[in-house]
Amino acid sequence: MAGRRALIVLAHPEKTSFNHAMAEAAASTLRDEGWDVTISDLYALGFNPVLSRRDITGPPKNPEHFIYETEMGLAWKEGRLSSDIVAEQKKIEAADLIIFQFPLQWLGMPAILKGWFDRVIIQGFAYSMATIYEQGCFQKKKAMLSFTTSGMESMYTPRGINGDMNVFLWPMQRGMLQFCGFQVLAPQICYSVRYVAPEARAQMLSAWRRRLAAIWEEKPLGFIPNSCFELSVAGGFVLKQEVLAQQEEQRQGLTVGQHLGKAFPPDEQLKAPQ
């Protein structure tokens, strides 16, 4: 994989944490395979996750009615974004693979990482209404989530107390990554790291290194292509009638998101299609 570039976006404040160990294992393994690796340690950078008018330089187009998404899109086009946002965008532009390393908090991303998405992955730079999902701006790049949990794996199942992990992953993997065109690789999940034995954590790191050695060859997760949707009479894109007809006799829905009121496909957000 010589010549390829990876960006690791790390969201954990403690250097001694398992998330830092995962990021360091990823960086060293990829470098051994010939990758050029950059780490964005958001806490070490003091990254500001809060949206504000200070995210643009110069006067806004409409100071009386400031619409963040519109103003940011214009500022990106005109080169008026704040320097910390530009720095992160340049890292994304240079990367072939992006790994997001974080602890699952309240069944989602930590606030600092969500704020990174809110401020950095903006209209114009990352998407437009003509370039979304598999036609998105980053369709030649791969991305994946690597995260830790406090609970055991059984707790994140359809029978578990926390519910189905596929449901929690859908907004992040489909609504954020694939929306911008990324080829989304299956997540790397380390369950209950705070409570398992040191030997188990060592095995998690070893499994992560083995996977990373051939990460670029992995098949991405499957999502419904844009061609299956059409503009409805009421407005908004919905599944075409012929697609719905094809699904009538199926016991399971198409995806976690487009489940059609049926059972979710098992592990659809956890494993690439065979």
pTM for the model stands at 0.95
**3 state DSSP class of 269:** coil
Per residue in 11-28, pLDDT (tens digit) is 999 999 999 999 999 999
Task: Measure the CA–CA gap between 274 and 269, rounded to whole angstroms.
Answer: 13
| 112: Cα separation from own chain's centroid | 14
- State the chain's mean pLDDT as an integer: 95
Are 16 and 194 a contacting pair, CB within 8 Å?
no
Per residue in 146-192, pLDDT (tens digit) is 999 999 999 999 999 999 999 999 999 999 999 999 999 999 999 99
Could you give the angle at the alpha carbon of 6 between the alpha carbons of 25 and 148, nearest 5°?
45
Q: Which CATH code of 2.60.40.10, 3.40.50.740, 3.40.50.920, 3.40.50.360 fits the domain covering 5-220?
A: 3.40.50.360
The pLDDT value given to residue 234: 80
**3 state DSSP class of 184:** strand
Asked if pLDDT for residue 1 goes beyond 80, the answer is no
Burial (Cβ within 10 Å: 0-12, 13-18, ≥19) of residue 245: exposed
Region 200-212: mean pLDDT is 97
Q: From start to end of 195-234, where are the E strands?
A: 229-231
Task: Measure the CA–CA gap between 105 and 102, rounded to whole angstroms.
Answer: 9
Per residue in 252-268, pLDDT (tens digit) is 999 999 999 999 999 99
Instruction: Return the H-helix or E-strand segment holding 206.
Output: helix 198-212
Instruction: Return the H-helix or E-strand segment holding 30.
Output: helix 18-32
